Amino acid sequence: METKQPLGGRVLTGPFVFFLILVLIGAYFAAKRFTLGIGAVSNMNDGYPWGIWIALDVVIGTALACGGYTMALLTYAFNRGEYHPLVRPALLTSLFGYSLAGISVMIDIGRYWQAYNIILPWHSNLHSVMFEVALCIGAYCLVLWIEFAPALLEKMKADRLLKKLNRVLLIFIALGILLPTMHQSSLGTMMLMAGYKLSPLWRTAFLPLLFLLTALIIGFAVVIYESLFSSVTHRLPLETTILSKLATVTFWCVLLFMVIRIEDVNLRGYLPLAFDGSLVSNMFLLENTFLLCGLFLLMYPGNRNCPKLLFLSASCLLIGGSLYRFNTYITGFDPGNGWQYFPSVGELCITFGIVAVEILGYMWCVKRLPIISVPQTS
Amino acid sequence: MKTNTFNGIKARLGGISRRDFMKYCSIMASSMGLSTGVAPQIAEAIADPAKRPPVIWLHGQECTGCTETLLRPSHPTLDALILDIISLDYHETLNVGAGHQAEAALQQSMKENAGKYVLVIEGAIPVKDNGIYCMIGGKTFLSMVEEAAAGAAAIIAIGSCAAWGGIPSADPNPTGATSAPVVLKGKTVVTIPGCPPNPYNFLSTVVYFLTFGKLPEIDEQGRPKFAYGRLIHENCERRPHFDAGRFAEKFGDDGHRQGWCLYKLGCKGPVTHANCPEILFNDVGGGTWPVGTGHPCFGCTEKGVGFNIPMFTQAEIQNPTPSAFKAPITADHPSPLTIQGAGLAGAAVGAIVGASAIAMKNLGSSSSSSDQSSKED
């Protein structure tokens, strides 16, 4: 029998201080952004109205935060109880990932003080993909906090409230599966609007499906990666048995994705474009190389039981999946008229700060809240 | 303008709402090419009863079209507004009194407001045979204009007739019809040519005078530059057809129906200075100006063009060769890639790869321990 318990230990470790410094640097630039405006810290321009704050923090960030979604999907929708130990840590990263994606959007949008209008139905633009994404992500953040609440309530020993919450938790778990399915595909739909500004290597009617699949792939891979990583750093026993099962599911997802992805480009006749040696086509090759590496590593059942190869394949899938999303939003996007974009120092520092907040939060939570399942030693 | 201040004058402005009034002032400012920030200043000037200038409006050789056009602006209660922001002391079309009574009012106003009133001249002035071809109350129009101009603070010649002669001055000009600037040589006369002129050009000039106490900048023909600074051709909505060589060849042909350029039908847009395509007429939206309705411009605001060059004669294009220095379609955008940015991004990628590599190395050594623990289970 396994129970979840705080890992304990000192919070203020070396890495913790390092990430704290990153957060402070990010906070400095965020303050600059809110006092002097976006132009003072960012290289975004009229050609590239979004930069890494959207591409990295939101589009990739929420995919990396899909661990909670994929685990809930497996455990509750497909009724695979054996994955239950992985749910709570995955939910924790999802919680931070999504909440901070929301904060990134607040930093990114020009008139953030108007943002509340999204939740006013009489101001809703029901024809906007952006609206769907905004509302969906906003709702999912809330759902994640409720899904995660039991961990906090256990810590606070609020048993009565916990009992009440457990009675209605099912609804929120269902919502927690529905909402990401909606908005993760919508993130792909959004780039359909870019039309011919998006390179034909990425521009396809399959964008919504491909984005949903990358959300699943990255969601599974991040659970594997994180579990192995925290086992090493916190010196916990490895959860290889569950992870190798998870890897099998991941394998089929990646296979489906790759078939659709490559066949789609091929059937539209744009595959030769991938070999013209430009930055865009090389990024396409790089992205797919990583995904194929991950796929081949997972193909052999033997590999799925080896923590080292499991970790390597998860890393490949994470990089490949993230690159797919990054390329769709930034590299493959050319607004024309000579516009260029590369993130500025301030922009990067804000993103680093946001990632650092996530890591700090995770570090603190696993030490102080009942998150990780530890086998009971007799 | 504060709501309290406005309420004091609301009745005088014909019950117009404060919002509409401020909107009107902003429109005035923008039609004069001023920033809308001037609107409050304009509002103060219009609302101040002490600033209401007496206006004396004289009619000579004309059709009263200019007066008619002034009644057209359909912004709420504009007629009330314009009759209230100025004190219209004498206007032959709008006078309530008639005969000697009206003439007495003119004389009284000129005496009381000497040096303060605005003189508006509508219509050409016949000068042949000492001006006997236009007599009002037993006086020649010529002598009336000269008398009124002597004590005027500002003189505005409205319409093509007053501005440069218009139809009355067309050949053979039997009455010696002459424009106000020529008759009143040595005095500054602001001209608002047009047949009829756009009422907003006149109103804007008056409001400018009210607000700033001086006349707007004018060109060598006395036309306010804010309204007559550019050729119609430059801002015409059909200009793209001209540039692309798509012309209506005959009235009612395919090109004419498609709304192509009217240059070959004799449009004088290329030689006529006016803001017709920008502010349009009658406040009813797009297309409400001569070219917009499919008729070539006949150059009413331009001396020597309207009523002088035959209507279907093609105009001389002033700049037949396109400029060699067009604004580039593609702009230069410097590369945003900086060493610091690239360094930071590289460092981040390196850190992630490094951390993963170390973790993987440790995984290799701990795999045996995991086997152990699974055996224990």
Query: What are chain B's domains?
Result: 52-228 (3.40.50.700), 230-320 (4.10.480.10)
The reply to whether A49 touches chain B by the CB within 8 Å rule is no
Q: A200-250: per-residue pLDDT in tens?
A: 999 999 999 999 999 999 999 999 998 888 888 878 888 888 888 889 999
Calculate the average pLDDT of chain B: 83
* Residue A42 to chain B, least CA–CA distance (Å): 10
User: Which is more confident, B132 or A339?
Assistant: B132
Q: Is the pLDDT reported for residue B374 higher than 60?
A: no
Percent of chain A scoring above 70 in pLDDT? 98
pLDDT at B123: 93
The reply to whether B340 touches chain A by the CB within 8 Å rule is yes
Burial of A378 by CB count in 10 Å (0-12 exposed, 13-18 middle, 19+ buried)?
Answer: exposed
Q: Which of A319-328, B34-43, B360-369 has the lowest mean pLDDT?
A: B360-369
pLDDT average, residue stretch B14-22: 77
pLDDT at A208: 93
pLDDT average, residue stretch A23-51: 91
Q: How far apart are CA A356 and CA A12, in angstroms?
A: 14
The reply to whether A331 touches chain B by the CB within 8 Å rule is no
Q: Is the pLDDT reported for residue A35 higher than 50?
A: yes
pLDDT at A377: 53
Q: How far apart are CA B181 and CA B185, in angstroms?
A: 6
For residue A52, what is the nearest residue in chain B, using CA coordinates? B345
Residues in A touching B338 (Cβ below 8 Å): 342, 344-345
Calculate the average pLDDT of chain A: 88
The reply to whether A25 touches chain B by the CB within 8 Å rule is no
The set of residues, in sequence order, having a beta carbon less than 8 Å from that of A100 and lying 6+ positions away, is A57, A61, A354, A357, A358
Q: Which of A240, A338, A345 sits opposite B370 (nearest CB)?
A: A240
Q: How far apart are CA A184 and CA A187, in angstroms?
A: 5
Q: Is the pLDDT reported for residue A372 higher than 70?
A: yes
pLDDT average, residue stretch B84-113: 83
Q: Is the pLDDT reported for residue B370 higher than 50?
A: no
The reply to whether A345 touches chain B by the CB within 8 Å rule is yes
Q: How far apart are CA A69 and CA B346, in angstroms?
A: 30
Element (H, E) at A147: helix A129-156
Cβ–Cβ below 8 Å for B360 and A312? yes
pLDDT at B76: 39
pLDDT average, residue stretch B213-224: 90
Residue listed under structure tokens 């792909």: A188
pLDDT average, residue stretch A127-144: 88
pLDDT at A81: 77
Q: Is the pLDDT reported for residue B8 higher than 80?
A: no
Q: Is the pLDDT reported for residue A179 higher than 60?
A: yes
Cβ–Cβ below 8 Å for A237 and B335? no
Confidence at A325, pLDDT banded by 50, 70, 90: very high
Percent of chain A scoring above 90 in pLDDT? 42
* Residue A274 to chain B, least CA–CA distance (Å): 24
The reply to whether A348 touches chain B by the CB within 8 Å rule is yes
Tally A–B CB contacts below 8 A: 90
The set of residues, in sequence order, having a beta carbon less than 8 Å from that of B226 and lying 6+ positions away, is B31, B32, B33, B34, B204, B216, B217, B275
pLDDT average, residue stretch B200-215: 85
- Per DSSP, what are the bridge partners of residue B32? none
Q: Is the pLDDT reported for residue A300 higher than 80?
A: yes
Q: A99-131: per-residue pLDDT in tens?
A: 889 899 999 988 888 888 888 888 888 888 888
Confidence at B329, pLDDT banded by 50, 70, 90: low
Cβ–Cβ below 8 Å for A237 and B369? yes
pLDDT at B181: 93
* Residue B3 to chain A, least CA–CA distance (Å): 28
Confidence at B328, pLDDT banded by 50, 70, 90: low
- How many Cβ atoms sit within 10 Å of the Cβ of residue B157? 30
Q: A276-292: per-residue pLDDT in tens?
A: 989 999 999 999 999 99
pLDDT average, residue stretch B295-303: 92
Q: Which of A87-96, A361-370, B45-54 has the lowest mean pLDDT?
A: B45-54
Q: B270-294: per-residue pLDDT in tens?
A: 999 999 998 888 778 788 899 999 9
Q: How far apart are CA A128 and CA B12, in angstroms?
A: 48
Cβ–Cβ below 8 Å for A338 and B369? no
The set of residues, in sequence order, having a beta carbon less than 8 Å from that of A325 and lying 6+ positions away, is A55, A59, A60, A63, A187, A211, A214
pLDDT at B368: 43
Cβ–Cβ below 8 Å for B345 and A343? yes
Q: Is the pLDDT reported for residue B369 higher than 50?
A: no
